[in-house]
Amino acid sequence: MKTIYVGNLPFSASEDQIRQLFEQYGKVQSVKLITDRETGRPRGFGFVEMDGGEADSAITALNGQQFGGRSLRINEARERSDRGPPRRRP
The helix/strand/coil state of 48 is strand
Q: Which residues contact 60 (CB under 8 A, 6 or more apart)?
A: none
The helix/strand/coil state of 1 is coil
Q: Under CATH, to which class is 2-76 assigned?
A: alpha beta
Tell me the pLDDT tens digit for each residue of 14-73: 999 999 999 999 999 999 999 999 999 999 999 999 999 999 999 999 999 999 999 999
Radius of gyration over every alpha carbon of the chain, rounded to an integer in angstroms: 14
For the chain, domain boundaries:
2-76
pTM: 0.84
Residue 26 to residue 52: CA distance in whole angstroms: 10
Angle between helices 15-23 and 52-62 (to 10 degrees): 100
